[in-house]
Amino acid sequence: MKTNDYIERLYGEAVKAMRNAVAPLSGFRVGAAVLTSSGEVYTGCNIENPSLMLSACAERVAILKAVSEGTRDIRAVMVVSDGGDYCYPCGSCRQLIYEFATGAEIFIAGGGGIKKYSIEELLPYAFKR
């Protein structure tokens, strides 16, 4: 698959997933899509809960869906939001990406286009065991 093809595909899937966001508390909708080495895409959206600690970020939902289906080989992560600006993964999601999508390309979509990062850039000095 050509580079732009999978980035476009991930972007489209993340935007679709964002429509399922449950965000009555923040009003901020986020979508995520992850690509595995075998070409499968898993998506997630943020899901908020009045019991705040039960809320989940879009990236977390997508990554845990992939892991629960048996894949540990996530090659790319895409994050989109409806906030206009770039939605950078929270600290917890960065740790999750570090653990389960270590070498992945991380794409963040915003008003100025799609930016690409590595987890080393987003989470230097990561906790590891």
Question: Active-site residue numbers?
Answer: 59
Q: How far is the CB of 120 from ligand THU (least distance, A)?
A: 18
Cβ closer to ligand THU: 79 or 109? 79
Q: How far is the CB of 108 from ligand THU (least distance, A)?
A: 9
| Binding residues vs ligand THU (CB under 6 A) | 23, 26, 28, 30, 46, 48, 55, 57-59, 79, 87, 89-90, 93
Q: Beta strand pairing status for 105-110 and 74-81?
A: parallel
Q: How far is the CB of 34 from ligand THU (least distance, A)?
A: 13
**Cα distances (angstroms) measured from residue 47 to each of 2, 18, 23, 88, 127:** 32, 10, 6, 17, 26
What residue type is 44 in one-letter code?
A: G
Q: Give the residue among 100, 52, 46, 48 at the shortest CA–CA distance from 73.
A: 100
